[in-house]
Amino acid sequence: GQQVQQSPASLVLQEGENAELQCNFSTSLNSMQWFYQRPGGSLVSLFYNPSGTKHSGRLTSTTVIKERRSSLHISSSQTTDSGTYLCALELGDSNYQLIWGSGTKLIIKP
């Protein structure tokens, strides 16, 4: 089965609301990396998070290895946050292989 399951597939929010994106994994990991991608754009790294919680402005990433999950929280969303968010699991028995989530398409309405 799929080693990384990302949810939700899509999310529509009003500006100012908070967003919670989730990735569940079924294999050992070195780390979870979160990316942001605009339509037609490249991938922008948001977090490299092997465990625990990391913050960057309005973004928070939490990886809990025992529960096999990693989350991305966006507080006070803005229309410019719209795009696709991807998680990528770096396999525990590999030092380079990334297993990609299917992505969350986030739309923030004004």
Rounded to an integer, what distance in angstroms lies between the CA atom of residue 105 and that of residue 12?
Answer: 8
| Shorter beta-carbon distance to other proteins: residue 11 or 34 | 34
Q: Residue 65 CB, nearest distance to other proteins (Å)?
A: 16
Q: Residue 76 CB, nearest distance to other proteins (Å)?
A: 25
Burial 38-57 (b: 16+ CB within 10 A, else e): eeeeeeeebbebeeeebeee
| Shorter beta-carbon distance to other proteins: residue 13 or 30 | 30
Q: Residue 84 CB, nearest distance to other proteins (Å)?
A: 11
Alpha helices in the chain (DSSP H): none
| Shorter beta-carbon distance to other proteins: residue 49 or 77 | 49
